[in-house]
Chain A
Amino acid sequence: EAGVAQSPRYKIIEKRQSVAFWCNPISGHATLYWYQQILGQGPKLLIQFQNNGVVDDSQLPKDRFSAERLKGVDSTLKIQPAKLEDSAVYLCASSSAFGGTDTQYFGPGTRLTVL
């Protein structure tokens, strides 16, 4: 079974530029999560999708971050414009169902550096 795929693995941009990350979850997984992990901290949930609908985006900075999950499969997370404090690893995870008892499978992450 293929795991969660993310690209790119690394990205360096200047502040005020835009960037987009892509995630392909495990086939058949209904739930998809995007997390932000700042160095020295635990992952912080930004948004979670159930199929192509948003379940929770309360911690997504909507003035600059956006995410979509077209057709309930792949997802993209965009930052526009980026700030220095957006430097972090962006993790995508998926699970077969919705709920805390269902195991999340994480991708390798995208390390973003904003200069």
Chain B
Amino acid sequence: DQQVKQNSPSLSVQEGRISILNCDYTNSMFDYFLWYKKYPAEGPTFLISISSIKDKNEDGRFTVFLNKSAKHLSLHIVPSQPGDSAVYFCAAWNSGTYKYIFGTGTRLKVLA
């Protein structure tokens, strides 16, 4: 049972354009969501997060949007840079069960 899904395994975007990475979840009890970025041979690094009581959080070029009714969140990167090329994981936290659930990841390639 995959409670957190990233249906696009890969995405290619031109440098300077917007990258939109999507994540869907099934468990309405998730109350905190995070995005991590992972380069090859490194561990994931935290990027941005959002509480379930908000619908948007912005940090520089990165914005996360949360649509609770659709159980959907997205990460927008504007403008995209070649250094953004990595695998992006969304993760959800359930404070009732103390569990983190990660999605399967989306590989972003930003073309120069």
Query: Which positions 70-98 of chain A face chain B at CB distance < 8 Å?
Result: 91, 93, 98
Known: A43-B44, A91-B43. A55 touches B98 (CB 8 A): yes
What B residues does A104 contact at CB under 8 A?
46, 100
Minimum CB–CB distance for A34 against chain B, Å? 12
What B residues does A56 contact at CB under 8 A?
97-99
Known: A42-B104, A44-B102. A100 touches B93 (CB 8 A): yes
Total interface residues on B, using CB and 8 Å? 28
What B residues does A103 contact at CB under 8 A?
46, 49
What is the 8 Å Cβ interface bit string for chain A, positions 2-28, against chain B (1 contact, 0 not)? Answer: 001000000000000000000000000
Query: Which positions 32-85 of chain B face chain A at CB distance < 8 Å?
Result: 32, 34, 36, 41-46, 49, 51
User: How many contacts between A and B, using CB within 8 angstroms?
Assistant: 60
What A residues does B44 contact at CB under 8 A?
43, 91, 106
CA distance A108 to B6 in the complex (A): 23
Total interface residues on A, using CB and 8 Å? 25
Closest to A91 in B: B43
Please report whether the interface of chain A is mostly helix, strand, loop or mixed according to DSSP.
loop
Closest to B45 in A: A106
Listed residue (B43, B44, B100) with the most chain A CB atoms within 10 angstroms of its CB:
B43
Known: A93-B43, A107-B43. A42 touches B4 (CB 8 A): yes
CA distance A33 to B44 in the complex (A): 13
What B residues does A44 contact at CB under 8 A?
102
Minimum CB–CB distance for A73 against chain B, Å? 19
Other than the given A93-B43, A100-B93, A106-B44, 4 more pairs (CB < 8 A) read A42-B102, A100-B94, A106-B36, A108-B42
Q: Which 4 A-B pairs have the closest CB atoms?
A: A100-B93, A106-B43, A42-B102, A100-B32
